[in-house]
Structure 1
């Protein structure tokens, strides 16, 4: 009635025995990929330098 509708979201089951190991595997993969991408690192460094003066 308020113009809203229900939404269903599927998320990983954190109770699975292999959940933590899968998180570690994906984190390692993402970190290795990021290290190999010099352009991404340069972009991130520039973005970090551009936050001076931001407030919370």
Structure 2
């Protein structure tokens, strides 16, 4: 779905009262954040990277 369509749907949901202001802002950030550069190689690597806290939780 094109970015403009996703933003339009979010705006319509917000206008109808189906989303709070906070939910709308978070959803909009998520949509715009995903649009940054999904094809960049580091995006794929970061998706499977373990966080620093995982090391402590798993005992590794």
> TM-score if structure 1 supplies the norm length?
0.38
Quick check: which one's helix share is greater?
Answer: 2
TM-score (normalizing by structure 2)? 0.37
Higher Cα radius of gyration? 1
